[in-house]
Structure 1
């Protein structure tokens, strides 16, 4: 994992592209590539690894990668890795930082020039004193299936979904991309926040996601949780409102004539109650008689509701 590459990916501002992918999804794929980059800022994660990292399907990932190539953010080096030699090697373009400083620099003008190495040379590769880099216990450094430094045991400590992964600042930034400030404040102060955080951590405990992806998925999780709790709170209120509005109502003479006309033109009512050769006026008159009798009126109650009557028929 290259810290410089990750910082670079976070700072990227994507250009507007008509018909292009959503910018948050492009950011997610770019972060996943940066997370897999080595010190030379190249990476070759498999498609399966990108799908697991981002939660996106293969078609979407391929479209985003083509857009990143068009935006000159990544470059196909032409090199291929993996057992089948079909995994493309991409180079991240424009990454700068501690890993791109000149390899030589004088320490002191009064002393003979000395070279400053790009990396500390104290630890030798596969040094028995420091632990084997390519050992089963440490994880394989270069895996053809997953790209450079991709196996879980080589991920940084922060990627192990530990309890301290959550940053409210990062979470607010993720939520700010998909909702408004008022909703964000409601989520932060909700009494169910801690409950959902615990559930989210347990759900992802075995997925070895980096902190950035944890915040990305947690933002969606919280929005869905908010809708869930809002629905529960609104359901009793709706039931109370229905109980209050559904009061028994007695039909007036004017209402009887009005609803008799509507029922006479109701397809199901006319086919069920109309007699052969009967006109709408005659059917309306007979329905009005039925509406004047409580027992017959209750039989017509379902149809009355369909033509606009509100309340309980008595």
Structure 2
């Protein structure tokens, strides 16, 4: 009786074979950091080389989806094979992916012919610190989530917008974008205000500084800090006009030009300086809002005057009926 013909390899067997075939320093110079090998030294003193998180994610994804159909549904992970809940696909948490990756690595058989990444991965899961293992597994699970296939949905029929609706939507989007930029930029603006206050505390009153020199000193100080991004010149000068005072014409290097003159600023604690900087930025935002409202009011008044003039011009003339004299 002939021996039975072996069936096709399972997804797990194919994944194990692919992982065992990885050679040392695979993708060491890959442009994607997630595909470069992960090098580290264990507490025992041994150095290990692990597959890049994205590389291991490509290998383990077919295993995780062998009996399931995990997909990306607009940023959420769902399992299409699980029973639906209230008509919606069952959600899949990141912890489930982490457990699946951990189980795959723990089940790797010993193979003396495998490459270094395979052998080091088996050693790493057993000998490394739990927090280190958890961090690596999370990176792999994140890479799996990013590579999940998307849920295919039927295209939605969209009602064609009227020009007025498109214009209103564009204005709302622009307003939301400007508000988001202001909120995102606020910490940097407050940091610039704190810098100007601290500069005046240290230099004392009456120091004349050219605007370009003041901005240059601020930009140099901001470049050395990795906490906030430096703001632009125009925004910096708007803050300086409040924190230092309006620019006045002074003679610098023999030439009269606009300049800032430092004022007397009392010594403050760090928290007091933060509070004052927050008030300065809030005042600047309120001034901009007030100017904008004043501009709108003037525009509305001008428009009303124009409408009144047009109505007066096109008003029909009074017609006097002539009575026929017999």
TM-score after normalising by structure 2: 0.21
